[in-house]
Amino acid sequence: MHEAVVKARARGRRVGVVPTMGALHEGHLSLVRASVERCDETVVTIFVNPTQFGPGEDLAKYPRTFDEDIARVEAAGATMVFAPSNEEMYPSGASTFVEPPSVAIPLEGKFRPGHLRGVATIVLKLFHAVPADVAIFGRKDYQQFKVIEAMVRDLNVAIELVAGETVRESDGLAMSSRNRYLSSDDRVRALSLSRALSIAHEAYRQGERSTAALEALMSEELRGVDSVDYASVVDADTLQRYDIVPPKAVALIAARVGGARLIDNRTLS
């Protein structure tokens, strides 16, 4: 993989990489198309990274749809797929990790300890294995994107990052590989995430600048889910929370609906 990318770049071809865990949906494919638009070669990586799952999380049951994934990324214009084994990515004895930047501490950092450390580590490893010009990640995983952005800057990684917009179902549900865990009842209840974000966005647009007030509106709308890890309004760059909404702010939600832990977010300003 490494040699193929180095050779393509030496021939002057611009290479994009789209890291994924497979179980691909339209959100992923929009990232592939964003790479195809910008680059001569697009590599899709497919690897369900064990180090970003905590004990008791859904590593074992995470959906694996490799054959369909390959057909879909090829149809979307990808030219290479990198799908390493666990043993290739984590040979016995591997013990070096990325200690992620401070933007990894709140939100997911609090509710999924170790998750963003696993994400930062595998993403850096993939950047080393696939030394592309540009890497494209979805904005649905907002905090993940900010962590990768800070890591690339802090560790002087020579890659350009692009954030792809969240793709939604027609009723507003953010696309996610985990949506397939939802029963039809869950599926209806899951709509409250995107609705809560819309309500916060509208209140912000009408002048509400109290973080607590916006969060209360979201919590109210989220009454029907099984549990809420967070429904927060924070600074869009640092992910720090302030009593008064900062000039660049984002609302983020993580909530459990049936067997799925769903996340979504929306920029307010």
Binding site for a copy of itself (CB under 8 A): 2, 10, 89, 91, 93-103, 117, 120-121, 124-125, 128-129, 131, 150-151, 153-158
Residue 139, marked binder: yes
Which residues are 254's β-sheet partners? 230, 263
Q: Which is nearer to a copy of itself, 130 or 197 (CB)?
A: 130
Active site residue 28: yes
The minimum distance between CB 8 and a copy of itself, in angstroms, equals: 12
Residue 219, marked binder: no
The minimum distance between CB 97 and a copy of itself, in angstroms, equals: 4
**Two tokens at 44?**
């899709």
The minimum distance between CB 125 and a copy of itself, in angstroms, equals: 5
SS3 label, residue 39: coil
Yes or no: say if 264 and 225 are a contact pair by the CB < 8 Å rule: no
Q: Which is nearer to a copy of itself, 28 or 146 (CB)?
A: 146
Question: Pick from 143, 134, 171: which is nearest to 239 by CA?
Answer: 143
DSSP state of 251: E
SS3 label, residue 36: helix
Q: Determine the length of the chain.
A: 269
Residue 177, marked binder: yes
Residue 2, marked binder: no
Q: Which is nearer to a copy of itself, 102 or 210 (CB)?
A: 102
Residue 144, marked binder: yes
Q: Around 185, how many Cα atoms within 13 Å sit in the side-chain half-sphere?
A: 5
The minimum distance between CB 14 and a copy of itself, in angstroms, equals: 14
Q: Around 52, how many Cα atoms within 13 Å sit in the side-chain half-sphere?
A: 19
CB atoms within 10 A of CB 93: 5
Q: Show binding-site residues for ATP.
A: 21-28, 138-141, 167, 175-178
Q: Show binding-site residues for (R)-pantoate.
A: 52, 144
Q: Which residues are known to be catalytic?
A: 28
